Homo-oligomer: A and B are copies of this chain.
Amino acid sequence: MTAVKFLQRYLPILEWGRTYNRSVLADDALAALIVTIMLIPQSLAYALLAGLPMEMGLYASILPLVAYALFGTSRALAVGPVAVVSLMTAASVGNMALQGTAEYAFAAMTLAFLSGLILLATGLFRLGFLANFLSHPVIAGFITASGLLIASSQLKHVLGIPASGHTLVEILHSLASNAADTNPVTLVIGLASIVFLFWVRKGLKPLLRRFGLSDGLCDVLAKAGPVLAVAVTTVVTWGFGLDGKGVAIVGAVPQGLPPVTIPSFDLDLWTSLAGSAVLISIIGFVESVSVAQTLAAKKRQRIVPDQELIGLGASNIASSLTGGYPVTGGFARSVVNFDAGAQTPAAGAFTAVGILLAALLLTPLLYFLPKATLAATIIVAVLSLVDFSILRFTWGYSKADFAAVAATILLTLGFGVEVGMSVGVGLSILLFLYRTSRPHIAEVGCVPGTQHFRNINRHKVLTDPAVLTIRVDESLYFANARYLEDYILDRVVGDEGLRHVILMCSAVNEIDSSALESLEAINHRLQDMGIRLHLSEVKGPVMDRLQRTDFLSELSGEVFLSQYHAMTAMSEVCGKSGKQGKKLVDAAD
């Protein structure tokens, strides 16, 4: 690889940057403006969710976006703090330190650094495929359960009471025991914001369209709903002095550039954060890459998953070095970015400038912003993630998938995000292994007058008592090798008239060493019983491998190109169509 190619591979900006012109810049700048307006309240709200000072949400939305613009391959992905990762940060860092302490913030920065290193290393070693081991239903279940956890965790701000906990039970119990102290003014602000924001989502767009506004403009205005809620409730709180009536406000947010920070290099802290960093990296990457892929496909563009890992890794390291916390590509804001016309990752860099200006200039205006408003924006945003339809769907489609989803949801709600996610992933892998360890095995017979062989339990077929044909609908490997052994020997023991067993291998994509040993054992045991073992329809690559072993020379029977060929060689039952059949088999040779 030449130096130029190397740079082009790891710095995608070198590719799209070359064709950058004024028209693209205008598109990117407009998209950036709209995303900035959306991102300011989000950044504050997610920092609140993560239990961090508000300004850290803003800091996490500045340099990380520039880093992604340099290293990322998606043209539309908008990076920054997101709900689920903020929740996971709170769950992880909450074990190390108390919310509000400097240690807590420091641990969150270190978590971003670790997660960045993990993402970067995974990308450099091209291990992005590991994310494929998360099944979609498990992710869907996890996101739904996280949404519920997040919404319930924000109720305390709407009620104006203290509450804590990392599981649904803990949170609800904590809320219930403090419910008597509910602050009525806070509750009014919170509920009004929630109702308003839901209305903006559902009712505003039709209304605006009736006024003759274009569809795109309606969408953009609807996304500005949170900004309006923030502005109105801030003004009301300031005007009526509601902070004196028990309404919790954001208060002083430091004004200025993001600080330069150095994450901890304490081995103990790294050890305790490592597991969480892995989980955050996985979820962050999966969420991000799904959005990026969906948006890229719409323009027939491609993203490079391993380079995405590098982009996200760089973002998180940038976040940790400038007072931020873990970030990833957000779903809602990326869609807004895309719809608003973003053409290149430069839109992200321009958004960073927007947030930087907000950090420099706007923070004094946020002093009287009620926390209840921020909580309302979080609740409304995450409730759109909650979708139990995956339960109904998987129940009808695949009970194994249903089990994985149900376990993920219940464990996430009952034991927190880390347990829920880990068990969900483990369970979906175990269930897959379990299914392949008990493959579908059919005894087949000849469909009269044809060369086709079908399941004797489903079709009217011809069989010969001296010949047993078994079709295994799965690759043969260690986990199902003994199952096949048991199946065949159970079937054969006591069947005195049997002389031939044919194993029809049309669906066998691989035979590993263990399965080969099992086939050898089956061959020898059948031989001991005076029964010959034959194979039919063995695939090319499988046959190539078998030819490198002694198995074929030890096989008591033969290997036939087709099942029809095999059957006619040792039985008369397919006889009627025998002549025509023979010809066809020749043609297949």
Please report the C-alpha to C-alpha distance between residue A475 and residue B458 in the assembled complex, in whole angstroms. 22
How far is the CB of A542 from the nearest CB of chain B, in Å?
10
Stretch with Cβ within 8 A of B (4 or more), from A160-168, A234-242, A244-252, A296-304? A296-304
A456 within 8 A of B: no
Given that A302-B493, A509-B473, A545-B398 are contacting pairs, would A480 and B132 also be in contact in the complex, using a CB cutoff of 8 Å? yes
A86 to B201 CA separation, bound complex (whole angstroms): 68
> Which B residue sits closest to A545, measured CB to CB?
B397
User: In A513-568, which residues have CB < 8 Å from any B CB?
Assistant: 513-514, 516-518, 521, 524-525, 528-529, 539-541, 545, 548-549
A449, A507, A513: residue with the most chain B Cβ atoms closer than 10 Å: A513
CB neighbours of A1 from chain B (8 A): none
Q: In the complex, how many residues of chain A place their beta carbon closer than 8 angstroms to a beta carbon of chain B?
A: 76
The interface residues of chain B lying within 8 Å CB-to-CB of A137 are 513-514
B514 touches A478 (CB 8 A): no
Tell me the bound Cα distance from A447 to B489 in angstroms: 39
Q: Is A393 an interface residue (CB 8 A)?
A: yes
Which residues of the other chain, B, contact A394 by a CB distance below 8 angstroms? 513
Chain B residue with Cβ nearest A459 = B540
Spell out A's residues near B (CB within 8 Å). Answer: 129, 131-138, 293-294, 297-298, 300, 302, 305, 393-394, 396-398, 400-401, 428-429, 432-433, 435-440, 449-450, 452, 458, 473-475, 477-483, 485-486, 489-490, 493, 506-507, 509-510, 512-514, 516-518, 521, 524-525, 528-529, 539-541, 545, 548-549, 584, 587-588
Q: A136–B549 contact, CB under 8 A?
A: no
Instruction: Using known A-B contacts A396-B548, A435-B510, A588-B450, determine if residue A132 contacts B479 with beta carbons closer than 8 Å.
Output: yes
Knowing that A294-B521, A449-B587 touch, tell me 8 more A-B residue pairs with CB under 8 angstroms: A132-B479, A137-B513, A293-B485, A432-B477, A440-B509, A450-B588, A474-B475, A474-B509
Q: List 27 A-B contacts (CB under 8 A).
A: A132-B479, A132-B480, A133-B433, A135-B514, A136-B481, A136-B514, A137-B513, A138-B478, A294-B521, A297-B489, A297-B521, A297-B524, A297-B525, A297-B528, A298-B528, A300-B529, A302-B489, A393-B513, A400-B512, A428-B478, A429-B433, A432-B477, A432-B479, A436-B475, A450-B588, A458-B540, A473-B539
Q: Are B517 and A136 in contact (CB under 8 A)?
A: yes
Q: In the complex the two chains form, what is the Cα distance from A136 to B438 in whole Å?
A: 17
For A477, list chain B residues within 8 Å (CB): 135, 432
Closest to A539 in B: B473
Give the residue of B305, B438, B524, B588 whose beta carbon is less than 8 angstroms from that of A452: B588
Give the docked Cα–Cα distance between A397 and B513 (Å): 7
Given known A474-B475, A539-B473, contact A438–B129 (CB-CB < 8 A): yes
A528: chain B residues within 8 A (beta carbon): 297-298, 300
Give the distance in Å from the alpha carbon of A584 to the alpha carbon of B513 in the complex: 38
Q: How far is the CA of A478 from the CA of B425 in the complex (A)?
A: 11
Q: Chain B residues with Cβ under 8 A from A440's Cβ?
A: 509, 541
CB distance from A125 to the nearest CB of B (A): 14
Which residues of B have CB within 8 Å of A483? Answer: 129, 132
Q: What distance in Å separates the Cβ of A547 from its nearest Cβ neighbour in chain B?
A: 11
How far does the Cβ of A398 sit from chain B's closest Cβ, in whole Å? Answer: 6
**How distant is the Cα of A342 from the Cα of B335 in the complex, in angstroms?**
75
B437 touches A133 (CB 8 A): yes
Q: Point out the residue from B133, B475, B512, B540 that lies within 8 Å of A479, measured CB to CB.
A: B133
User: What is the CA–CA distance of A265 and B391 in the complex, to the nearest angstrom?
Assistant: 42
Q: In the bound complex, do residue A132 and residue B539 qualify as a contact, i.e. CB atoms below 8 Å apart? A: no
A489 contacts across to B, CB distance below 8 A: 297, 302
Tell me, in angstroms, the Cα distance from A507 to B475 when the chains sit together: 9
